[in-house]
Amino acid sequence: MDAATLRETPERVAELIDHTNVEPDSTAAEIRQLCDEVLTYDLNAACVVPYHAELAADALGDEADVVVVVGFPYGVQNSRAKRAEVEELLAHADELDVVMNRTAFANGDDEYVVNDIRTVKQAVGEQTLKCIVESPTLSDAEIRHAAELADEGGADFVKTAVGYEGGCDVAEVRAMREAAGPHVEVKASGGIGSFEAALEMVEAGATRIGASSGDDIVESAAAWSQRN
């Protein structure tokens, strides 16, 4: 969905939102509430930690997707560990959001980064893989390079952040969109809490929004529509 379509039909923002609770102390009750909100607001998916994958899948059934994070939150697990994590989750997850190996990236080990992503993609198969590069911690040049490596590794999306180290901004999303190939989509995640913020991300090139306040974004879309 492009920005023009979203401006014309702001309620469609719900289609873009992965409603998210990846807190390490998230409870089963909170995940059930998350899934209830996904269904109530007709959001795209619930995004959860591996422990809650089966719960989310049972709660959502075929009504919405389940996104599960892998190698969370720093991506420092070795490739075999990430692959094993994915294989255990495939029965419950529609999409996997893997964290790029930030240590390998910081050390300039591009080959390791690419092979790590490729290994995970091979395990994911036909299901969607998003690669989180933690853009709030990177320079513009580093963001662009990370997006290129995610593309080379076979990721279907490049994603900004896990949300623990600050929110993303439009410049980060734009850099990813410009650096990755046209076949790679962009997920903006971190600090997005309103329709206006989501619209800015879509205008910068995002095709998916990760947010813990997906319900608030949808409600603010209605208010935005009345004002405009």
Active site residue ranges? 97, 159, 187
b/e for 72-102, b at 16 or more Cβ within 10 A? bbbbebebeebbebbeebeebbbbbbbbbbb
DSSP state of 41: T
* CA distance linking residue 118 with residue 114, whole number of Å: 6
Are 227 and 31 spatial neighbours (Cβ–Cβ below 8 Å)?
A: no
DSSP state of 44: S
204 to each of 185, 186, 190, how far by Cα in Å? 12, 10, 15
Residue 195: CB atoms within 10 A of its CB come to 22
Helix extents (H) in the chain: 3-8, 28-40, 53-60, 79-89, 102-106, 110-124, 140-153, 170-179, 195-204, 214-227
